[in-house]
Structure 1
Amino acid sequence: MNDRSVSLLENYDIEVLRTWRGRGAILCETKQGTLIWKEYTGHKEKAVFQDALLTTIRQRGFGNVEGILKNKEQELLTQDQDGTFYVLKTYCEGRECNVKDMDECRQAAEMLARFHSVSSIEDSFSGGSMSHPAHVEFEKHNKELRRVRKYLKERSQKTDFEICLMKNYDYFFNLALQITEELRFYQNKMENRFVCHGDYQHHNIIICDDGMHLINFEKCVFDSPVRDLYLFMRKLLEKSGWVQNVGFELVNSYEKVRPMEKEEYLQLYYRLAYPEKFWKIANFYYNSGKAWIPGKNLEKLCKVTDQEKDKREFLDRFKLRYSLCPAEM
């Protein structure tokens, strides 16, 4: 982010006392408090949708979220001479949620449920995009996995990473096909009239003096609330090695605030069962340079394969705990 963009702050009814660099942004000390100035890469319509969502949930009592400030022309975005758009938002001083602190993680699950309790949107609320059903996302991932396999088969000299990838490929690819096929016959009968945060993970959950705050709504999208819960759970389960109590405590904390329906358990099961981490590693490898493959890639791949047994045991217990019988699967 270039410092020239700071001059655009003159387009706002604020007095900037000083600025300093943050992570991918510029922080501004003003009489209204600390604000954050950053480049905006989405569509203009999405900014309008995002602002409307934030306004709506604050009106419904969910107040610990960021806000977008409008410029003197009452626009949410300000454009530089080179065509780049920038956005000015409120900022809360604090730290990220500690993934090793289960008390904080349980609180984060409760906050997610409170957010979903106020993020149901009526028909007049327009401008947001509708996400694809999960099985459509999986089908896209499966096509990408096929390309990876074709590429690997044509490689004559393989690195340790590529050998490991090929060794485990059939298991994870067949699992991906199985989960996708099962989910294809299970259709969500509820309308997705909720807006999900879209990137609910510890980086966007900030612990401040007045409690937890939720930031960075740029990926907000119409979808089932399961989308957010799944992402948060998967991240923590992977970090813990799929310790079963971690997953169930998160679900219990969420349900204390917003009880889940049977079809949401099914969605959550299928999302967790799909080998998304394996796809991410394979897809990143395929779309990156092959002259040198970082050793970290092999570490991540080995971690996924090593955790698979514990993951399957968690999913089996998940099915029993929430009575997901074969007829529903």
Structure 2
Amino acid sequence: MNDSYLEVLRQYEGEVTGVRRGRGAWICEYPDGLKLLKEYRGTVKRLEFEDAVLGALEQQGICRTDRYVRNLEDGLVTAGPDGVKYVLKRWFSERECSLRDRREILFCTRQIAALHRGLQEIPWQEEWSLGSTVVPALSEEMARHSREMKRVRGFIRGKRRKTEFELRVMQSFDEYYGQALEAEKGLEPLDQNQAENRLFLCHGDLDQHHILPGNQEAVFIEFSQMHLGHQVSDLYRFMRKVMEKHGWDEYLGCAMLDAYDAMLPMSRNDRRCLYFLFLYPEKYWKQLNYYYNANKAWIPEKNVEKLKTLESQKEARRRFLSRIK
């Protein structure tokens, strides 16, 4: 990004008192707080969709978000003198959620439930379909990942000399692939019967990097993947990061579920969906997918270690799955 950002900032209300680089963008200091200026390559329809939802959340007073700032012409996108498009949005000094702090984890879990409760109160508008991210059904996405896993196994099976990574994949594949098929089959009826399993707005990319815990409420940022779907997929994504970090501690996992349920009671279908999401061996699929799309002649030691970690945590993960089934 060159100095054209200065011309862009002049198209917004308010005087900038300081600017610094950060997160591949410009962090701008205003008298009323921080704002983030960054390049934008998406559509205006997408921005209008996000702005409408975040505006509705703001009116509810449930949480703070990185809502976009409109320019002097009331637009969400501003072009620089070089033709590059930018967006300006609120920014915050709070740090992201620490996965080491159990109290903070439970606080953020309750905040996720509050966010979901607020999103449930926002009725879906048909015109948002043009700007919303299109996300396949959970079972369809699992089926695609399972096919990729099977393709990798076939490739490795055909190799005459196998690395340690490849040998470990061959030894563990049947067990994880069986879990993948069971999860996929279990989610199919939940995806098909939308009458009993209503869809709501979801953050779409919710992990510790996008939750900034404050004293009374959390800040949620980066809604670029927001869509209509299963809200428990947000909870699953955050919980999986936590569980992997804590060696699949079943007590912590159950405490997180209790914290969420106390704020937003989960239906039987919510719990079934969450179970099958956890049953699917996503971490295993990611390792195989990375291997297949990378230089197969050299596998970094860290990827071998990740397979070893999966094996060492297998029993703890099984206990957790038994608790939530």
The two structures have a TM-score, normalised by structure 2, of: 0.90
Deviation at 1:174, TM superposition (A): 2.2
The aligned counterpart of 2:161 is: 157
Partner of 2:19: 19
The one-letter code matched in structure 2 to 1:248 is C
* Counterpart position of 1:214: 220
Distance 2:221 2:93 in 1: 12
Any idea what SS the aligned residue of 1:126 has? Answer: helix
Tell me if the contact between 1:188 and 1:263 (Cα under 8 Å) persists in the aligned partners. Answer: no
What's the offset of the Cα at 1:184? 2.2
State the AA in 2 paired with 1:104. Answer: E
Question: Structure 1: which amino acid aligns with 2:142?
Answer: F
| Partners of 1:2 and 1:279 in 2: CA distance | 40
Q: Between Structure 1 and Structure 2, how many residues are aligned?
A: 319
Q: Does residue 204 of the first structure (1) align with residue 210 of the second (2)?
A: yes
Alignment of 1:249-288 (within 5 A): 249-288=255-294
Higher mean alpha-carbon deviation, 273-282 vs 290-299, is at 290-299
1:115-165: per-residue Cα shift (whole Å, max 9, x none)? 111102324363224532211110111121122122222333332222222
Identity across the alignment (%): 35
Q: Shift of residue 74 of structure 1?
A: 1.9
Shift of 1:245: 0.8
Q: Residues 81 and 188 of structure 1: is their aligned pair in 2 closer, same or farther, counting only changes over 3 Å?
A: farther
| CA distance 1:254–1:161, shift in 2 (3 Å) | same
Which one-letter code corresponds to 2:29 in the other structure?
E
| Rounded Cα–Cα distance in structure 2 between residues aligned with 1:6 and 1:292 | 45
RMSD between aligned residues? 2.1
Question: Which amino acid letter does the alignment assign opposite residue 63 of structure 1?
Answer: C
Q: Does 1:243 align with 2:244?
A: no
Of stretches 217-226 and 2-11 in structure 1, the one that deviates more from structure 2 is: 2-11
Q: Equivalent residues in 2 for 1:9-48 (5 A)? A: 9-48=9-48
1:184 to 182, 188, 204: 188
Structure 1 CA distance, aligned partners of 2:80 and 2:124? 34
1:9-42 Cα deviation digits (max 9, x unpaired): 2222232222111122211112332111123344
Distance 1:253 1:289 in 2: 43
Alignment gaps of 5+ in structure 1: 320-329
Structure 1 distance, partners of 2:2, 2:172, is 44
Deviation string, structure 1 residues 246-277 (Cα, Å, up to 9, x no partner)? 11111111111111111111001100111111
Q: In structure 2, do the counterparts of structure 1 residues 102 and 78 end up closer, same or farther at CA, with 3 Å as the change threshold?
A: same
Q: More displaced, 134-143 or 281-290?
A: 281-290
Q: How does 1:121-140 map to 2 (within 5 A)?
A: 121-124=122-125, 126-127=127-128, 128-140=132-144
Query: Is the CA contact 2:63–2:217 (under 8 Å) kept in the aligned structure 1?
Result: no
Structure 1 runs (4+) greater than 6 angstroms displaced: none
- C-alpha contact 1:93 1:208 (8 A) present in aligned 2: no
Q: Secondary structure at the match of 1:199?
A: coil
Which amino acid is 1:102 matched to? R
Could you say if the C-alpha distance between residues 301 and 7 of structure 1 is closer, same or farther in structure 2, counting changes exceeding 3 Å? farther
Which structure 2 residues correspond to residues 86-101 of structure 1 after superposition, within 5 A?
86-101=86-101
User: CA–CA distance in 1 between the matches of 2:85 and 2:277?
Assistant: 34
**Is contact 1:192–1:222 with CA below 8 Å preserved after alignment?**
no
Q: Distance in 2 between matches of 1:246 and 1:24?
A: 35
Matched, 1:104 2:108: no
CA distance in 1, matches of 2:291, 2:299: 8
Residue by residue over 1:66-120, the C-alpha shift from the partner in whole angstroms, topping out at 9 and shown as x without a partner, is 2200122322122456664322111111111111111111111111111111102
Q: Select 2:152's aligned residue among 148, 153, 158.
A: 148
